[in-house]
Each structure stands twice: as structure tokens, then as C-alpha cells.
């Protein structure tokens, strides 16, 4: 899949002076609910109304969406408000019904993106469509799967493409419902800068009070838009109540967001930026040098353990190091999350180096 500036055409066609805003309830619940929310959003900066018609649930017994009848409610909302309509599709049957009801934007959810067979089925059903198709990142942090999903659609001659960053599942406890793993989205953005990138702070946070913060972080990273779950009565929503905001709160979030320039051509800015980046480069070189020396010491420890027939992994020592680094890092203004990720990576590399020593004959 090649970079193609025409992929941004659908976004440019909205002719917006601000990032794209997609909003609406996690689930379409009743016709009255859908129409009331759409009317509330009509005169805001929202361009696209979203609503879940089919809801993939982790376990059976939960609310799984109203199904086809909800598409008729979206048709009414579109006719009344002029907003474009967006829904999630997970099967070819969903695609068929969405097209029959003239849904404007279809997105592939995180649970579907993880399955190449399912994505291919959807791509085949959408072959040559001019509809906008958005691909959420897979639930697991796998950039190749995300790219592969987009490639399958592109190979089906679908060119109005975009991606949604909704965070990744993790067994570790964090403040997020789905950990952002910003670097994965940045890697995607760097490889395919012409594919619009949209943030989904609702699913990343799982908490309406954190939505503004995560959306601002995304805009600071030059994202193209946002998809935010919005409900007239969030606390009583039939699904994902904690992460939905009211239309009034959504409008305030949009108003409070700061839109950054991509760059500044002023000479003073460019000179200062070059000097600061030079310092970063210098520190990065020193970091690599120190880490390289650390790994050499790890190899010496591995050789000693091998000589004395001692196991590579020493959990007590590792936990002591981690506790100390988290404490020291906090005093230097570094987050616990960053310290843990950083030293876990170093620890894993140290183990790899020691194992190489053990495997030497």
C-alpha cells in the first residue's frame, strides 16, 4: 500500500477549520434517544453522528444492540439534521444492511481488526465502494495487524480510508481502560501520513473525566479528528455508561481544546528548535552508550551465574531494582508508568544477553 494524498480527499471534503468531530451514543437504544441526541449535536462542530447498531460483547447476556431497526432511526436522524451517519460493521451481512440504508461511514472495530478473515470478508463486501471506511486498531498491540487490515481494504479498491486509535488491551493495571500505546499510533502515522488518524478517547479512558486530556494529547500529536461517545443521559446508558459525555459537555470539550500548528516557519523558532534537537541527539547518544555498557556488565553477571550454575532470573533482585527506580524516577519528574516500561525493556534485554552467555558452548 503506497502513500496516496488522495486518501485525505474525503477528510478535505468536509472543509473544516477544525479537527473532524464524530459523536453520538455508544449504542442506539430507542428512536427517541437517537433523534434527541442528533438534534442536540446538529448545530455544534460535530460533522458525523455515530451510534452502535450491533454491539460485540465480551460475554453473552449483555445488550448486543438493537440491530437493523436502528438503521431506520439513523435514516430519520440524517434526514432531519443533515449529519452524516457512522456505524460499526463486523460481518458482510452488516455491510449489506448498512449500504441498503445509505450509511455514510463504516468502521471496523478492534475485535474485528484482529481477525484477518473477518476483515477480508468485509473488504470483499465493500469492493469498490466510495463510502468512508475507518479501521480501529486491533485490541492487542500489533502494528502489523492494523496495517494489514487497512491493506485488505485498499486492495479491494477502497480509497476513502482512515484509522481510529482506541487503545490496546493489557493485563497490567493502568489508569486507562485501554492503554494508549501512543508510539504504535505514531509509527502508523509516520508510515502512512496521508491516512487520516482519529482518536477515540472514550474507549482509551473508559472515564468521561479523562476524555479532554487524552483528546488534547492526540491533537498535540497532530491527529486529524476525534470520535467521542455522547449521550443525553450517560449514567443510564445501556452500554459503556462511564465513558459517555452529555452533548453540553462535548461542546465544552471542543471549545476548550487547543489546536496546534503543524510547524512555524519563523527563523527564531527554527533556530531554537534546531539547538534543542541537537541537545536531544547528544543525550540519546549518551543513553545508548550507557545502556551498551550496562549490557556488558549483564553479560559478565551471566558468565558468573553460568560458572556457579545459578538461574538467570532473580526476581527478588529485579523487584528491588524496579522499586528503587520508580522512587528515584518520581523525584526526577518521571511517571511510574514510564519507569516501569523503560526498565522492563532493559531487564528483558539483560536477560537476553545473559541467556546468550548460557547458550555458549
Contact 188, 147 (CB under 8 A): yes
* 172 and 287 assigned to the same domain: no
Per-residue pLDDT band for 262 (boundaries 50, 70, 90) equals confident
Give the whole-angstrom CA distance, residue 141 versus residue 143: 6
Q: What is the average pLDDT value for the chain, to the nearest integer?
A: 94
Judgement on whether residues 229 and 275 belong to the same structural domain of the protein: no
Q: How far apart are CA 330 and CA 351, in angstroms?
A: 25
Q: pTM for this structure?
A: 0.83
CATH number for the domain including 323? Answer: 1.20.59.10
Question: Does the residue 262 lie in any domain?
Answer: no
Looking at the DSSP assignment, which residues form a beta bridge with residue 228? 23
Whether residue 164 sits in one domain with residue 313: no
Instruction: Please tell me the predicted confidence (pLDDT) of residue 17.
Output: 82
Q: Are residues 179 and 59 in the same domain?
A: yes
Residues 326-356: tens digit of each pLDDT: 999 999 999 998 999 899 999 999 999 999 9
**Count of domains for the chain:** 2
8-state DSSP, 106: E
Is 133 within 8 Å of 161 (Cβ atoms)? yes
Q: Is residue 203 part of a domain?
A: yes
Which distant-in-sequence residues (6+ apart) come within 8 Å of 341 by Cβ? none
Confidence of residue 267 (pLDDT cuts 50, 70, 90): confident
**Is 197 within a domain?**
yes
User: Tell me: the pLDDT tens digits for 104-142?
Assistant: 999 999 999 999 999 999 999 999 999 999 999 999 999
Let me know whether 214 and 304 are in one domain: no
Intra-chain end-to-end CA distance of the chain, in Å:
45
Specify whether the CB–CB gap between 125 and 158 falls below 8 A: no
State whether 222 and 277 are in the same domain.
no
Looking at the structure, tell me whether residues 247 and 289 fall in a common domain: no
Same domain, 32 and 156: yes
Residue closest to 214 by CA, chosen among 155, 167, 252: 167
Q: What is the pLDDT of residue 60?
A: 82
Which of 19, 29, 28 lies closest to 51, judged by CA? 28
pLDDT of 264 reads 86
Pair 120, 152: CB distance under 8 Å: yes
- How crowded is the C-beta side of 338, counted as CA atoms within 13 Å? 9
Q: 48-97 pLDDT, tens per residue?
A: 999 999 987 777 877 889 999 999 999 999 999 999 999 999 999 999 99
Confidence band, pLDDT 50/70/90 cuts, at residue 219: very high
Provide the residue range defining the domain that includes 283: 267-359
Best CA proximity match to 152, nearest among 139, 165, 138: 138
Sign, CA dihedral 101-71-61-120, equals positive
pLDDT bracket for residue 172 (50, 70, 90)? confident
284 shares a domain with 189: no
CATH number of the domain at 206, please: 3.20.20.70
Amino acid at each position: 500500500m503506497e502513500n496516496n494524498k488522495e486518501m485525505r480527499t474525503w477528510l478535505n471534503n468536509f472543509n473544516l477549520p477544525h479537527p473532524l468531530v464524530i459523536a453520538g451514543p455508544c449504542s442506539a437504544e430507542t428512536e427517541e434517544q437517537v433523534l434527541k441526541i442528533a438534534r442536540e449535536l446538529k448545530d455544534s462542530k460535530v460533522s458525523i453522528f455515530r451510534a452502535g447498531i450491533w454491539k460485540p460483547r465480551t460475554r453473552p447476556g449483555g445488550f448486543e444492540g438493537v440491530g437493523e431497526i436502528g438503521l431506520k432511526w439513523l435514516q430519520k436522524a440524517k434526514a432531519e439534521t443533515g449529519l452524516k451517519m457512522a456505524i460499526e460493521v463486523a460481518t458482510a451481512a452488516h455491510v449489506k444492511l448498512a449500504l441498503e440504508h445509505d450509511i455514510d461511514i463504516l468502521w471496523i472495530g478492534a475485535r474485528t481488526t484482529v481477525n484477518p478473515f473477518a476483515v477480508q470478508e468485509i473488504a470483499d463486501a465493500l469492493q469498490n465502494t466510495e463510502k468512508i471506511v475507518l479501521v480501529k486498531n486491533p485490541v492487542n498491540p500489533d502494528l502489523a495487524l492494523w496495517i494489514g487490515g487497512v491493506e485488505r481494504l485498499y486492495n479491494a479498491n477502497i480509497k476513502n480510508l482512515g484509522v481510529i486509535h482506541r487503545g490496546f488491551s493489557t493485563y497490567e493495571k493502568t489508569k486507562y481502560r485501554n492503554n494508549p500505546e501512543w508510539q504504535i499510533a505514531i509509527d502508523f502515522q509516520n508510515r502512512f501520513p496521508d491516512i487520516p488518524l482519529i482518536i477515540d478517547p472514550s474507549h482509551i479512558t473508559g472515564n468521561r473525566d479523562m476524555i479532554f486530556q487524552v483528546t488534547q494529547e492526540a491533537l498535540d500529536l497532530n491527529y486529524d479528528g476525534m470520535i467521542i461517545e455522547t449521550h443525553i443521559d450517560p449514567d443510564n446508558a445501556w452500554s459503556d455508561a462511564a465513558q459517555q459525555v452529555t452533548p453540553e459537555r462535548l461542546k465544552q470539550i471542543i471549545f476548550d481544546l487547543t489546536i496546534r500548528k503543524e510547524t512555524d516557519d519563523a527563523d527564531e523558532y527554527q533556530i531554537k528548535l534546531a539547538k534543542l534537537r541537537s541537545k536531544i541527539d547528544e543525550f540519546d547518544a549518551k543513553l545508548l552508550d550507557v545502556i551498551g555498557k550496562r549490557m556488558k556488565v549483564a553479560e559478565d553477571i551471566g558468565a558468573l551465574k553460568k560458572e556457579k550454575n545459578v538461574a538467570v532470573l532473580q526476581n527478588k533482585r529485579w523487584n528491588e531494582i524496579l522499586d528503587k527506580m520508580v522512587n528515584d524516577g518520581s523525584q526526577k519528574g518521571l511517571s511510574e508508568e514510564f519507569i516501569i516500561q523503560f526498565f522492563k525493556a532493559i531487564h528483558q534485554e539483560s536477560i537476553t544477553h545473559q541467556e546468550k552467555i548460557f547458550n555458549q558452548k
